[in-house]
Amino acid sequence: MKLDDIIARRSASPRRLIPPGPNEEQVRMMIEAACAAPDHRRFRPWRFILIRNDDRPKLADLFEAAAHETHGKLSEGQTQRAREKAFNGACLIAVAGVIRDDVPDVPPHEQWVSVGAAVQNILLTATSFGFGSMIVSGDKVKTRALQNGLGLNAKEQLLGFVAVGTVSKVPPATERPIVEDVLSVWPPEEAGMLT
């Protein structure tokens, strides 16, 4: 993968990530790349769950239950929209954080950084294969319906779902910050060293 591809990467809505998606070997390579994320003390604070296409109707049931859990009674339209989200993206991978809070030298925020790096590696690997991708979350990820339905234990937290597929409509370019707005030099009197 070239640097230009990394810089140009942007998210594409799961509704626009149509088949074909990654094959089984490509999915394995995306997860292998995820496992290359920085991981202090090798805690492996991430877990990935591939949602097979044949099981999307079951996931739709979970999404509907999650919507009821977070919003109470739903209209028919709200129920349909909740269920439809389970069918977006040619490939769907749930991401869970397995975060420990009992190790002072590896605090939870450091473990979440590892989870984020693992997700970014999946997104970049998908890009290298020519696919679009996006991670989606929302209030549903905190529900018991998804926690239990996906088989997560009490120590695992659902972060969201990575959707991968062929981009049916290229998203518009997003404005990104310029380097000077996000990078400073310390100490301040040395700021001229970047120029």
71 marked among binding-site residues: no
Report how far residue 129's alpha carbon sits from residue 22's, in angstroms, rounded to the nearest whole number.
8
Report how far residue 153's alpha carbon sits from residue 134's, in angstroms, rounded to the nearest whole number.
25
75 marked among binding-site residues: no
Report how far residue 98's alpha carbon sits from residue 166's, in angstroms, rounded to the nearest whole number.
30
DSSP secondary structure letter of residue 36: T
- What DSSP string runs through 61-108? HHHHHHHHHHHSS--HHHHHHHHHGGG-SSEEEEEEEE--SS-TTS-H
Report how far residue 83's alpha carbon sits from residue 102's, in angstroms, rounded to the nearest whole number.
38
Instruction: Note whether 52 and 24 are within 8 A (CB).
Output: no
Please name the amino acid found at residue 25. Answer: E
Residues annotated within the binding site for FMN are 9-11, 40
Residues annotated within the binding site are 9-11, 40
